[in-house]
Structure 1
Amino acid sequence: MRSVSLCLASILAAGAPAYAHNYTWLNHPSELPYYGQSPPVYPTPQTNGSSSPKWAAAYAKARDILAQLELEEKVNITRGYTGQCVGNTGAVTRLGIEPICFADAPDGIRGSDFVSAFPSQSHLAATWDKDLFLAYGKAIGKEYHDKGINVALGPVAGPLGRIARAGRNWEGLSSDPYLAGAGMYHVTDGMQSSGVIATAKHFLLNEQEFRRRPNQTYDPIGEAISSNVDDRTIHELYAWPFYDALKAGAACVMCSYQRANNSYACQNSKLLNGILKTEMHFEGFIVSDWEAQHTGIASANAGLDVVMPDGGYWGANLTQAVNNGSVAIDRLDDMVTRTLAAYYYLEQEDYPEVGVYSDTVEHPIVNVQGDHKKIIREIGAAGTVLVKNVDNTLPLKSPQFVSIYGYDADIMAQPWENVARYGGGYEVNHLWNTFNGTLITGGGSGGNIPPYVISPFKAIQDRVIEDGGIVRWNFWSENPHVSATSQVCLVFINAYASESFDRPSLVDTFSDNLVNNVATNCSNTVVVVHSAGVRLVDAWIDNPNVTAVVFAGTPGQESGHSLVDLLYGDVTPSGKLHYTVAKQEADYGSLLNPTISDDWFPQSDFDEGLYIDYRAFDSKLNVTPRFEFGFGLSYTIFSYADLNVEALADASNSSSLAAFPDTSIALVQGGHPQLWDTLWNVTATVTNNGTTGASGAEVAQLYISIPTAPLRQLRGFDKVGPLAPGESATAVFELRRRDLSVWNVVAQEWELQKGSYKLWVGASSRDLRLEGEIVVS
């Protein structure tokens, strides 16, 4: 590991770039005037597949091919081409090397037909269910595999969700790194078990859309925003989930658009060579986000391996750079070896033909949907969060007169003549920015294209027909007529978000007025919010006629079925919030809006350090949220008891703890193997004590207070059940060395802190039922 003095020496020897400030490691941004730094790390570390026998075998095959390649053929493998897929590498036809096919999106194949529209990964995270994380990854991975797509561009842990209004938060898994990391691990594992290369993205610090790319249409135009972040915060927040993805074997990582500490992320040697390829021991290849390469030689030497979507600054330029010594032939060989090794690691030699076709020409049908509608429906319901339920309004008891209101209730709220019913992203088809149609996913490259959509209106109407009742509806009016006979009034609103722009607000007046207007005339108003991110509700949440509120997320093609399963009690709610919902926008403080700047070199200082989302609400903002992180209601009640904390052998041996890291142990993907050792086991008993007769599952959550760290941090969760009334189960939490460690910026190591670690187990970040302690001496 590099010491501070070595890092400083390397800056001076290399010649500090014009943007560099005097370099100092910061334990916390408040300790000194804030400057984020990315010290140079060269050369790119080469690896040999030491993480596992499977990686070693893949590297052996890759090197056999490498030995047969001419210079131009090597270069051809590092660059993208326009082709059948959203990106394709070059081929080497004489050796039978076909183009490697890359495709979006994290929640389903984008730009193709006969594929499924899965819930977003944000919606998946709200299930807090590791089994569903894995099943989701397997199902999506199978569709990519069967379409002949080699590289799936997901899963997503960047953005992490620093900014409440950020446009792409819905693509990621959570604003908490531990929950996001668990999702990254299991989704990656599931995808790659189906034979497709998973791409952990976006690495790193792309936390807003405003000026994420250079020369966008702002006044003045200029460079992209620079996310300026201290070393500890990078490790403990933003890089944390990527450790998990690599531990699961992720064979590809995508670097992001913006600058990181004033160096573009795809040419930032500290991020790519230092953190990703050295500390995390990444053995796969790094691909640029599309058009995220801004220089040729610097990006090559900083660790970029493949450029997309075309040749970028490489192609013939890279050949010339190798010939004149600006890029070492060893670096080019490493690019090619890593890329081919990923291909062999996933055993893609005998792979289906690419089944992605343009919609403008007749083509063979390659139907890969299988029975995935079942898992989509299950995740849709499991990720729906019940946040208000007065006097057991829900589940519905087969009401005979059901009234439905709001633009979000059906697929098309108005018969717009200019709306295409095919092709493009879902937002193109359904004009969400005009409050026109139900929300099942977000916009941009992270969105999917559904084969069909089961709207809430269709599913509810079908259920009412079964019950012999009637339905009345009005999708368009802000102040609709409400029949005096209505037994329940369901109001559907949504909050859209997309790549390329950040959200203008966390509320909208039209939707808030709609809810209040219906509630004025209906004493049993149930509000359903489909939302691609935080949506505030204080304009109507305390209205006594609003009897139940459901956050239904972005649930994919089976949206209506998933919702009806929950509204009618076929499924008991178990979803929990994976972000904090404030009472008003100002409560988020500096974490509400993206950094807006008209400078040529715009700067975004992450001077809050580790304190984002619930960590900020708990420790710095001193503001009570409307609904805290981890919150979610059920149709039953759970109690917690019998907290037990058990130290394993190594945890009771202080000399063993102090000996980390054992330098005789080789690194693996995900860093030092000892980081993943379980040191303590924590258990608690969860019991269904409800009187409604409902069975249900509960997400038990473990929070830790680590010395020199935020007040509480999530460090475990276990979804137990479903439990019948009176039934109990044991929630189990394994505390690994990494879970209890902080990043020492001077030693450049993870280390345990000496002292008392308080721990709590409960139903949310603020509903903490049991308390215990771990002591590290």
Structure 2
Amino acid sequence: MVAVKMMRQLAQVTATAVLVGEAAAQNSAQANITSDSYFYGQSPPVYPSPQQPGIGPWADAHTKAVALVAQMTPEERANITVGFTTTTGCSGETGSVPRLNWPGLCLLDSGNGVRNTDFVNGWSSGIHVGASFNRNLSYERAFYMGGEFKTKGVHVALGPAIGPLGRVAEGGRNWEGFSVDPYLSGQLVYESVKGIQEAGVTATTKHFIANEQELNRNPIREVASLSSNIDDKTMHETYLWPFADAVRAGTGAIMCSYNRINNSYASQNSKLLNGLLKTELGFEGFVVTDWGAQHTGIASALAGLDMVMPNSRNYWGPNAGNLTIAVNNGSMEDSRLTDMAVRIVASWYQMGQDEDFPELGVGMPRNILAPHAIVDARNPVASPIVLRSALEGHVLVKNVNNTLPLNKPKIIGVFGYDAPAPSRYNVGAQSGDTPNRWQFGYDSVLNYLGFLSTTAPAPPFAANGTLTSGGGSGAALGAYISAPLDAIQQQAYLDGTQVYWDTISANPLVNGATDACLVFINAFASEGPDRTALYDDYSDALVQNVAANCSNTIVTIHNAGIRLIDQWIENPNVTAVIFAHLPGQDSGRAAVQILYGLESPSGKLPYTVAKNESDYNVLKPDQPTGQYQRFPQGDFIEGVYHDYRDFDRKNITPRYEFGFGLSYTTFEFADLSVAKADGAVSTYLPPGSNIIEGGVASLHDVLARVTAVVHNTGDVDAMEVAQLYVGIPGGPVRQLRGFEKVSIAAGDSATVSFDLVRKDLSEWSVEEQSWVLQEGNYNVYVGSSSRDLPLTGTLTF
């Protein structure tokens, strides 16, 4: 109940907040509600909206943008803040200013690759990148992906995604983000933003903020969107944390979430946009709505919104004429409209898009099957990165008696609906989507629009082929798909192996002489609906049926989120299990390299796998109930305690802990060193001092360094992820605060080092409104997972 107390304390400060627009009416209906169990949060007003700082790396782009925008009329400035109906494959296009040679911007999904076009790579999804625990790989993936966006004439990539953060275990879009852990997500989004933008494309970090479920994410008739009610401490230490890293990396755009936060819609929440994002974090870029997520007019502009998508059917009116009217009648300062335009144009300059940028949306017609110019956006240099990214997201969790890797088996059986390639053409276009949309068949069976909520459940698994991506606007498909069955057939050709397969039957026949039975299942998730369970009986029965007739059953799961496996994991005939996540187009090729030992698995779980659904403190999405059905409430009363932090607090034994993953070799950790940095360290950091992108500059001062030695004690060259956890006094038992992925030859060692910066060791003080170090002992742990931490030490402040 600590979180509830904090929220009530915050309520005392903000109870008199005056909210603007539609949110004010909704909030006033609940202003006097009191309860011993819940706090219906209020979002305090923060005005005016800060102008773009234009400092540091943004100084030159800011100067150029100010000069260009100064030449625009008010109508032209307004015109570039809204979307227009597009004739290309862009998800949205802004207005342009032809007389000044400003072309407007093409915005396109997704954070996992260029969507709904041809001749691009199908990259691994966010959750797969999270499982890699590899910063360098995250950067390379993003850089080459960004190059594909640029080649297609896309100025703004609508990704990466770090919201949702996985609060709801059954969340439909958890697979788009990297992890449930804010530190891991922050480290990987930092590299992803850098990579995309160094390729010349604006990264749009999304969804800001607390978009943790699909149910009630949008208003439907008289029912408002869900309000994610979050206390100040939890906001900073959990949900805002990775966004601070994205801003620190220089992200050029931030996309608002659909939901309300403390009863004010994200796109008009001045506390979030003006206060946290543009003031506290020093954000230089522009804020754009998610598609159709604007709910007020001038109030949203005053609250910090800079761009509305997807078209002119918005509260700012055709060509955003209502903005110029507001300026003329004094409802809005001209400086706000100017700043909106400057932020948008500055991102264009910042990414170097004013020189030699391809034609907007080139080679991307609305109907991908219609005749069109072929623009091959793939860089041949990227092919090894596509495969490497697919490989490193595989997590081996069980391997009895070194079942894997396979060694030229004489007979193998391949079973399961997830083994073959899926249908490449749509079996029926989604309502509201482009006709003959180039997409998986299983994506089309969902009854939802890409930007509207629905109550239709997602199918628990994709039954017509291997799962390489989740569904919805985050889905991205490559020019081909390497399916597991195809890749296994190729390996069988090389090894002289006899292959039997049945990818249709729920209870397939098994040859009694089979050396290994490979079962492929999946767990599907998508934008629109949330998942209905973390398992499905059909797939579990399939595994059990094969295992009943095969003493060497190896299960591979392509999972778009947490997947429980307790119906069969202790079956002695199930000898190996791989969480293969969503590898993208090289799925089968990567699976074979792992299964046959061409690559030792090196992935780690970016979430906790429980033994029971009831072990998750937030399993299902919040439901509107009772008298609050018109204004659904989601109270984040668990505070910072979700996933492994909650398991540790309650001493719940998971099936597989956060950070867990096996290898084909063994590692040992030794020689821990924990040392404070030179010089005196103040425990207090004055709020608002020396703000740079991402927050107060001194938050990233190094206060301590931890080193350890990792020994490869086996006989296989492999990679290991050394993980550092810290116990901050008064906080969770331990929190991830460092990781390093190292490649170590058999019998060799590697030294890993972790710099702990001030923010890593601080907690957010609601009273001080600042990050504060605690006086006392900080426990330091190093090992291979959140619960396998053989090295322990202490820091004292």
| TM bracket, shorter-chain basis | over 0.9
Q: CA RMSD in A?
A: 2.5
1:66-116 residue CA offsets vs partner (Å, 9 max, x unmatched): 211111101101111121211111001111110201000111111111111
Partner residue in 2 for 1:423: 437
| Structure 2 counterparts to residues 589-600 of structure 1, below 5 A | 589=617, 591-597=618-624, 599-600=629-630
Residue 768 of structure 2 is aligned to residue 729 of structure 1: no
Using the alignment, how far apart are the partners of 1:234 and 1:102 within structure 2?
28
**TM-score, normalised with respect to structure 1:** 0.93
Shift of 1:20: 5.0
Shift of 1:36: 2.7
Residue 248 of structure 2 is aligned to residue 247 of structure 1: yes
| Structure 2 counterparts to residues 557-706 of structure 1, below 5 A | 557-589=585-617, 591-597=618-624, 599-620=629-650, 622-650=651-679, 653-654=680-681, 657-658=682-683, 660-661=685-686, 666-690=690-714, 693-706=715-728
1:336-361 residue CA offsets vs partner (Å, 9 max, x unmatched): 11111111111110211132223243
- Decide whether the 8 Å contact of 1:526 with 1:549 is kept in 2: yes
SS in 2 for 1:271: helix
Using the alignment, how far apart are the partners of 1:425 and 1:107 within structure 2?
15
Shift of 1:588: 1.1
Residue 191 of structure 2 is aligned to residue 186 of structure 1: yes
Residue 375 of structure 2 is aligned to residue 366 of structure 1: yes
Identity rate, percent: 50
| Structure 2 counterparts to residues 376-391 of structure 1, below 5 A | 376-391=386-401
SS in 1 for 2:724: strand
- Alignment-mate amino acid for residue 622 of structure 2: T
Shift of 1:9: 9.5
Shift of 1:518: 0.3
Correspondence for 1:708 among 730, 753, 757: 730
SS in 1 for 2:691: coil
Using the alignment, how far apart are the partners of 2:233 and 2:74 within structure 1?
40
1:392-414 residue CA offsets vs partner (Å, 9 max, x unmatched): 00000111211000000001489
Using the alignment, how far apart are the partners of 1:415 and 1:273 within structure 2?
44
- Decide whether the 8 Å contact of 1:648 with 1:678 is kept in 2: yes
Using the alignment, how far apart are the partners of 1:516 and 1:23 within structure 2?
51
Shift of 1:514: 0.5
Say if 1:33 and 1:423 are closer, same or farther in 2 by CA, change over 3 A.
closer
- Decide whether the 8 Å contact of 2:443 with 2:472 is kept in 1: no
SS in 2 for 1:549: strand
Using the alignment, how far apart are the partners of 1:326 and 1:283 within structure 2?
25
Partner residue in 1 for 2:261: 260
Residue 153 of structure 2 is aligned to residue 119 of structure 1: no
Residue 84 of structure 2 is aligned to residue 81 of structure 1: yes
Gaps of 5+ in 2: 1-8, 446-458
Using the alignment, how far apart are the partners of 1:12 and 1:446 within structure 2?
36
Say if 1:757 and 1:329 are closer, same or farther in 2 by CA, change over 3 A.
same
Using the alignment, how far apart are the partners of 2:113 and 2:425 within structure 1?
27
Residue 721 of structure 2 is aligned to residue 719 of structure 1: no
Say if 1:4 and 1:232 are closer, same or farther in 2 by CA, change over 3 A.
closer
Using the alignment, how far apart are the partners of 1:140 and 1:702 within structure 2?
30
Bigger CA drift: 567-576 or 404-413?
Answer: 404-413
SS in 2 for 1:318: helix
Correspondence for 1:483 among 505, 511, 529: 511
Partner residue in 2 for 1:44: 49
- Decide whether the 8 Å contact of 1:425 with 1:444 is kept in 2: no
| Structure 2 counterparts to residues 49-448 of structure 1, below 5 A | 49-50=54-55, 52=56, 54-83=57-86, 84=88, 85-215=90-220, 221-311=222-312, 312-314=314-316, 315-350=320-355, 351-353=357-359, 354-355=361-362, 356-358=364-366, 359-371=368-380, 372-412=382-422, 423-428=437-442, 435-448=463-476
Partner residue in 2 for 1:473: 501
1:134-188 residue CA offsets vs partner (Å, 9 max, x unmatched): 1111111111111110000111110000011000000001000000000110011
Number of residue equivalences = 754
Say if 1:378 and 1:548 are closer, same or farther in 2 by CA, change over 3 A.
same
- Decide whether the 8 Å contact of 2:369 with 2:438 is kept in 1: no
Say if 1:19 and 1:45 are closer, same or farther in 2 by CA, change over 3 A.
same
Say if 1:12 and 1:416 are closer, same or farther in 2 by CA, change over 3 A.
closer
- Alignment-mate amino acid for residue 364 of structure 1: A
Using the alignment, how far apart are the partners of 2:481 and 2:383 within structure 1?
11
Shift of 1:426: 2.9
Say if 1:514 and 1:679 are closer, same or farther in 2 by CA, change over 3 A.
same
Shift of 1:373: 2.9
1:245-293 residue CA offsets vs partner (Å, 9 max, x unmatched): 1111111000010111110011001111000000000011000000000
- Decide whether the 8 Å contact of 2:684 with 2:771 is kept in 1: no
Using the alignment, how far apart are the partners of 1:194 and 1:134 within structure 2?
11
Say if 1:630 and 1:396 are closer, same or farther in 2 by CA, change over 3 A.
same
- Decide whether the 8 Å contact of 1:37 with 1:230 is kept in 2: no
Say if 1:513 and 1:658 are closer, same or farther in 2 by CA, change over 3 A.
closer
Residue 764 of structure 2 is aligned to residue 743 of structure 1: yes
Using the alignment, how far apart are the partners of 2:649 and 2:520 within structure 1?
35
1:450-498 residue CA offsets vs partner (Å, 9 max, x unmatched): 2110000000110011111111110111100000111100001000000
Using the alignment, how far apart are the partners of 2:236 and 2:684 within structure 1?
21
- Alignment-mate amino acid for residue 760 of structure 1: Y
Using the alignment, how far apart are the partners of 2:414 and 2:485 within structure 1?
7
- Decide whether the 8 Å contact of 1:73 with 1:92 is kept in 2: yes
Bigger CA drift: 350-359 or 703-712?
Answer: 350-359
Shift of 1:378: 0.9
Residue 577 of structure 2 is aligned to residue 549 of structure 1: yes
1:204-243 residue CA offsets vs partner (Å, 9 max, x unmatched): 0100000100016xxxx41111111101101100010011
Bigger CA drift: 8-17 or 747-756?
Answer: 8-17
Using the alignment, how far apart are the partners of 1:131 and 1:567 within structure 2?
24
Using the alignment, how far apart are the partners of 2:574 and 2:44 within structure 1?
54
- Alignment-mate amino acid for residue 298 of structure 2: I
- Alignment-mate amino acid for residue 782 of structure 2: V
Using the alignment, how far apart are the partners of 1:14 and 1:164 within structure 2?
33
